[in-house]
């Protein structure tokens, strides 16, 4: 079983970017932790970082042919991308939304996720663990 992880824009800058909010860990460290947990849970994890909205939509659209679920941190697109929301809504496989920070404890414009209503669920505010909790949730869901 294969699971696709999509990191949205600016997440490649983790470790240097607003470390008071996002922490000191890097994207490579998140991906390594996901690989390790994937091995434990006996699933194959493929992670990609994409800055463009169109590229993200294409990946979501094609994912059903290869992957059983998607874990996505849409980053800033979370709050306004109808294109990504439509891609998620039209996707044949479950999509789990994750955020490093607690988006509800930040600026008001971050309180709204246009993705959440079409995702299976959302994990927000647990730092790197949001991704790992998202992966566990995806695997549990697929086993049912
Ligand atoms: C984020 C939260 C978003 O509001 C922000 O634009 C990001 C990262 C998070 O993981 O906490 O880039 O998705």
Domain count, the chain: 1
To the nearest 10°, the Cα dihedral for 83, 85, 86, 91? 130
Q: Which of 22, 67, 77, 131 is catalytic?
A: 22
Residue 61, domain CATH = 3.40.50.9100
Instruction: Report the nearest atom of ligand 1 relative to the CA of 76.
Output: 6
Q: How many CB atoms lie within 10 A of CB 92?
A: 8
Q: How confident is the model at residue 144 (pLDDT cuts 50, 70, 90)?
A: confident
Parent domain of 112: 2-143
Q: How confident is the model at residue 134 (pLDDT cuts 50, 70, 90)?
A: very high
Give per-residue pLDDT as tens, 83-105: 999 999 999 999 999 999 999 99
Average per-residue pLDDT for the chain:
98
- 124 with 72: CB under 8 angstroms? no
Q: Is the pTM of this model over 0.95?
A: yes
């Amino acid at each position: 079983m294969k699971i696709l992880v999509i990191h949205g824009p600016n997440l490649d800058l983790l470790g240097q970017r607003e470390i008071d909010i996002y922490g000191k860990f890097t994207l490579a460290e998140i991906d390594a932790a996901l690989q390790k947990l994937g091995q434990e849970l006996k699933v194959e994890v493929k992670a990609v970082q994409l800055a463009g909205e169109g590229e993200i939509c294409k990946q979501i659209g094609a994912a059903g042919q290869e992957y059983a679920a998607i874990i996505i941190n849409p980053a800033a697109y979370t709050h306004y991308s109808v294109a990504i929301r439509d891609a998620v809504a039209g996707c044949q496989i479950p999509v789990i939304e994750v955020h490093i920070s607690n988006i509800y404890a930040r600026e008001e414009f971050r309180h709204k996720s246009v993705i959440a209503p079409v995702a299976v669920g959302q994990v927000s505010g647990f730092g790197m663990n949001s991704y790992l909790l998202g992966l566990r949730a995806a695997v549990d869901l697929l086993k049912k």
